[in-house]
Structure 1
Amino acid sequence: MEDKYIFSPVLIQVMLTLCLYIYLAVAKKKAVTLGQVNEERRALHDDAWPDGVLQINNCIRNQFEVPLLFYVLIGVLWSISAVNIYVQVAAWLFVVSRIAHAIIHMGSNYVPVRRRFFMIGCFILIGLTFYAGYELLAN
């Protein structure tokens, strides 16, 4: 498998984030149309929006926390020629965990289950970090 394919899960993660932005735009337009927005507070205060909009917004915010580390690690692993089948599988598992996390966040938003998928992603990143460190020191 070619190293460049490590960027496939990265693109899926980016697309997830972009889809959430589209969903947020639709939800905001609907909230404005239904008069559910405090127009005086809308520009500067999240609480001007209904809970459904805040839920999407929070999910998007999550896509710029741990996934940012994923982007950096994939770039590092690729740049030091440390991409192998295990890294590929780990990257895909990370993205699957993020998709599951987003689905739960947008659905039931049941925190104990959402946290499990968050932690799965974190453990994958910890493993990738140790592997990247090992590869840097070994070569």
Structure 2
Amino acid sequence: MSLTVTFAPLFVQVALTFALLLRLGQLRTRLVRGGVVNLRDYANGHDVWPQDVKNVANAFRNQFELPVLFYLVTVLAFLAGRMSMALLVFSWLFVVTRLLHALIYGTTNNIPRRFAVYAAGFFILMAMWIVFLISVVAPQ
């Protein structure tokens, strides 16, 4: 499988992470410039951000949890020559769950929906690791 095809979902996941950080910076800058938030309060550790900004910050922070294992399995599968169509499909499904999770977190923050999407991503990622493990332990 080509490098482009293999890493396309990974690049989308990275783009999501950068997009969330840019959005967070935009929201925070607007609040500071508008005088809604005082940077001294923030620097002193006070909880100064409105909930919608905290939600985007949390969505950004979440990109360093499950996605770390996604990056690892993708790179390992490629380097080991074990990237398969199943892993590629799981990769795209995982990235879709991350996009949905961030969208829910940054908008309605509907916790049951957010959890369902997070859990789906978790199980997809676990399946990726199982498929990769089997390809290493019992290669065809």
Q: TM-score normalised by the shorter chain: which range applies?
A: over 0.9
Question: How far 1:60 sits from its partner (Å)?
Answer: 0.3
CA contact (8 A) 1:21 1:60 kept: yes
Q: Rate the CA distance shift 1:36–1:49 in 2: closer, same or farther, 3 A.
A: same
Aligned to 1:127: 127
Q: Rate the CA distance shift 1:102–1:138 in 2: closer, same or farther, 3 A.
A: same
CA contact (8 A) 1:104 1:110 kept: yes
Identity %: 33
Q: Which amino acid aligns with 1:68?
A: V
- Distance in 2 between residues matched to 1:23 and 1:118, nearest whole Å: 21
CA contact (8 A) 1:90 1:124 kept: yes
Question: How far 1:89 sits from its partner (Å)?
Answer: 0.8
Gaps of 5+ in 1: none
Aligned length, in residue pairs: 138
**1:115 to 2:115 alignment:** yes
Computed over aligned residues only, the root mean square deviation of the Cα atoms, in angstroms, reads 1.4
Following superposition, which runs of at least 4 residues in structure 1 exceed 3 angstroms of deviation? Answer: none
Question: How far 1:38 sits from its partner (Å)?
Answer: 3.7
- Spell out, residue by residue over 1:104-132, the C-alpha distance to the aligned partner (whole angstroms, 9 max, x if none): 00110011000111011110111111111
Q: Which amino acid aligns with 1:31?
A: L
Q: Match of 1:35, SS? A: coil
Gaps of 5+ in 2: none
- Spell out, residue by residue over 1:45-90, the C-alpha distance to the aligned partner (whole angstroms, 9 max, x if none): 2612222221111110001100111000101111111112111111
